[in-house]
Amino acid sequence: MNFQLTRELEDLIQKKIESGRYSSASDVMREALQLLEHRDEILSLRTSEIRRQIDEGLESLRRGETVDGEEAFRRLDERHEGYRRGRSAVRGACLESGPESVIAGRAN
């Protein structure tokens, strides 16, 4: 199979080969296509999950299980604040222990 690449993509492939991680352009392209396939699978799963959640929400609505707007926004604010606190904790641990420790689960 033959195909044309832009100069920028050719340069990128060459840099990947020069890094020593790949031994040929075919190796670079093979991994790139595998990553593309993996990304497509993840997007498909996310789409399916979003559709499932929408269906679940519509079914809850049909059953009369609703939340008024003020309550919905209060819940969203609580989730957002919890998320921010979690991110701040991880960020603080990175500053204290370094990101490698957090990734390895050894944060102080």
Residue 103 dihedral angles phi and psi, to the nearest 5°:
-65, -40
Residues 105, 100: Cα–Cα separation, whole Å:
9
pLDDT at 43 (0 to 100): 96
Asked if residue 98 and residue 50 are part of one domain, the reply reads no
pLDDT on residue 93: 55
Residues 9 and 35 in one domain: yes
Q: What is the pLDDT of residues 60-99, one digit of tens each?
A: 999 999 888 899 899 999 999 988 888 766 566 555 555 4
Q: Give tens-digit pLDDT for 15-53.
A: 999 999 999 999 999 999 999 999 999 999 999 999 999
Count CB neighbours of 18 within 10 A.
9
Are 39 and 76 in the same domain? no
Same domain, 85 and 100: yes
- Supply 4's token pair: 């044309």
The predicted model scores a pTM of 0.57
**Do 60 and 89 lie in a common domain?**
no
> Containing domain of residue 25, as a range?
1-66
pLDDT attached to residue 91? 60
Q: Judge if 71 and 22 occupy the same domain.
A: no
Q: How many domains does the chain have?
A: 2
> Is the same domain home to 54 and 73?
no
